[in-house]
Structure 1
């Protein structure tokens, strides 16, 4: 016969099935008396589980919705399904639930056995959602590791890709993961630089907890201040693909101070410009300041922004002119 704790967990697992259990049926399943079942049900109620009981021939026990969320028990397949769903929410799901989804995924991942974590990764890699891709896809395992480190106030070593494409090691103290609906960001204290930084999560690779306690922390108002100071870094950025109706030499001269790591090549219609990474707003300003005709091949957000400028600035005749 299992011990009291194991028996209590078995009873809870049975009650989580959406049905009413007769006391005699539970007693048979657990190999105990109905008196023991009643005592164990009382113990579950003391722990916060809302177990209802009905008397009579067709009565029994069932777990109902309560006012608080008690711990749940998952079978293997249920745990894998929950983790897959949380991963989807975290990286491409419902914006209003992304932050909560990452926190829940971090808690669930810590309790999953290695064999189940492997199943979750395999299934996650084998599925996708058919929708417009969001900028900067983030590995759910990266989000999970960062969220866990922030919750545990533990230092992390990781690789980070800078704006110029170079990649190097970072030693940080994660404080908070922030979702802007198009990207995830990590607010963390950079140990080597002794300063607070905001990192794009899609550029973070191989975060590894060190076991060392973090020494720096920001309250929510201070995090908002840090985000405001990093606002330019938080803005979504793109690389424009544009045909400029200019000779190559002229285009190079006009873009001399703004070319960055972009490139200019001769094109049948003039000059093809693959820009450096920047916001849609600044890319539009760059194009308008070139004082030439141009054709935008991408990204769509740049075309839409230029169209909105055209709509707002279009000259409309007065009624007296009609």
Structure 2
């Protein structure tokens, strides 16, 4: 009787309609398994065997439940499917969001360019104080040494500063052009055009290879400019404090400066104050720029990852991989 029950349950299981091969395999496997299960069940003594045969209803319910789970999984997979065009649309949206940050960067870059030009002109004006300071440093131990701890290297400090500031100016102007090109191309994106997916892909590669490279270069140049500013300001502040408390500096460096001590002291004090104020404004804006760079770098890498997926999905882009 038990063997018949199991065989009936197996036959009923085979009748369950399922679009999945996995459910069919499960039902097919149940039939050959019925014989050993039945033999094992009849071999057990009635007094010793406490486990009853699995009811047919329970087997059917179990297989039905499994079939329903498979259907749910298939629906989930179908809902997760996405086309290359849809991925391109997502990248297009991210590119437009990034363009907003780039526009904010460009507003600050104009101020950076102005500061670099101002600093370049004033470093030349500070050179005489650096030169005089290197002389005074021989007897005024409190004065900081402007370049790498070597007072005799003041000319190298000034020349290196000029070269570095010049390089910063070049990087800023180059990135202004690159970022403008990026913003213009993003604004021109149109999902209705048949070439939209290709345009998004090309723009993503431009952002990775040109925009990010220029952005990081400007970031590096501005860090150097900030360091030069800090070094110059530290020296001028200490020198200004020293000359305000003694005339010994003027006496020993008279040949390097003007004859009018008052005019020199006034110019030195005003220059120090101007550099301090401009340095504070520069550093505040640089913090904002640095934050946008740190945000943009992972965004662009994410865009590239999605673009790689688009190219692998769409045969039209396979040759571009």
TM-score, normalising length: structure 1:
0.23
Flag the structure with higher helix content: 2
TM-score, normalising length: structure 2:
0.23
Q: Which has the larger radius of gyration?
A: 2
Flag the structure with higher strand content: 1
